Amino acid sequence: MAIPATMHAAVYKGDSVVAVEQIPTPEIGPGELLVRVEACGVCHTDLKKIEYNLLSPPRIFGHETAGVVARVGRGVQGFAPGDRVVVFHHIPCGACFYCGKKLYAQCPVYKKVGVTAGFEPAGGGFSQYVRVMDWIVERGVEKIPEGISFERASFVEPVNTCLKAVVQCAPEAGETALVLGQGPIGLLMTMLARRAGARVVTTDMFPSRRELSLRCGAEQSFDPRSDEMAGAVAELTEGRGADVVIVAASAKGIVDQAVRWSRPGARILLFAQTSDAERIDLSGASICVGERTIFGCYSASVELQKQSAELVFSGELPVDLLVSHQLPLTKVNAAFDLALHPDSRSLKIILKPQRWTE
């Protein structure tokens, strides 16, 4: 396929500004791939980096990337131009202290981003082409089966992160799992917790998301401001409270809600609290005397990569239900605004870098 010398990319300029610019198409070296990006999901971790200016500019974000191999570097085996692929931007070394503890997101190599569209590597999916570095090519690229859309395939990375979280908090058959927030991530958590056998109760302020939550496996879904919430959880659990709580949204007081609606001895998983600007104020006794466990989960697990791909490609998880908008790269700021300030119909926003108009 013909590869242009320049491409369009959404460049983070600092001061929370992102602009679509024409920049050189990345060059690749031995062991690397050049991938033409066909779809890239908008993730809140990238939006927080932009909103709070957490990383120095210029950078090109975007890491829920699906596309087509455009060029193969010398020595690459197993991939050829024309292959349809999803790309993970982090892969651990497998040999350090943290890898030995299976805390892959803490591995120094994992923290080194291995996919770029130019500038300091930052995922690069909000561009027309990305360079995939050699250690990612070796273990972090999955082929997309025929008949699977790039939009669906772009869910493989976020499904991996959610599957890792659900495996970590381990809801069991007969337990009640409470998922706070039913945005795209919360809905994936609902699907996976139900798949694990738990009875799932969810919260969200949007009625449309609560309705979709029921289609994704929740038994009941409530407005978190409603007086019904505590009573419903108590009724399901003989007055105890939820066995597992997954905090899939970031809002003031949401972790306090997780504690309040959980039973003594519950497991509470924080998934959306990814910025140092977010602070949590809790009663110490609610944790210590209540013997609750609070823990965090962040990013993907290489051990779950194949399983997450199969869950998406097989259709076992109905991820297509979550896509509300597909926008061209020129609408990148509108996409970010929709994701940061959702309305009743916005869910997963996917950018289509090869599409130039609506």
Structure-token pair, residue 205:
């302020």
Cα gap 44→63, rounded to integer Å: 11
User: Hey, what amino acid is at 288?
Assistant: C
What length is written for the chain?
358
* Matching fold, domains 6-155+317-352 and 161-296: no
Report whether 117 contacts 131 (CB < 8 A): yes
In the chain, what are the domain boundaries? 6-155+317-352, 161-296
Mean pLDDT of 116-124: 97
pLDDT tens-digit readout, 181-201? 999 999 999 999 999 999 999
Cα gap 255→247, rounded to integer Å: 7
Topology (CATH) of 161-296: Rossmann fold (3.40.50)
Helices (H), the chain: 44-51, 97-100, 108-111, 134-139, 150-153, 156-169, 184-195, 207-215, 228-236, 254-260, 284-288, 305-313, 332-340
Report whether 271 contacts 255 (CB < 8 A): no
pLDDT tens-digit readout, 123-177? 999 999 999 999 999 999 999 999 999 999 999 999 999 999 999 999 999 999 9
pTM of the model: 0.96
Q: Which CATH code of 3.90.180.10, 2.10.260.10, 3.40.1160.10, 3.40.50.960 fits the domain covering 6-155+317-352?
A: 3.90.180.10
Cα gap 28→48, rounded to integer Å: 29
Structure-token pair, residue 46:
């990238």
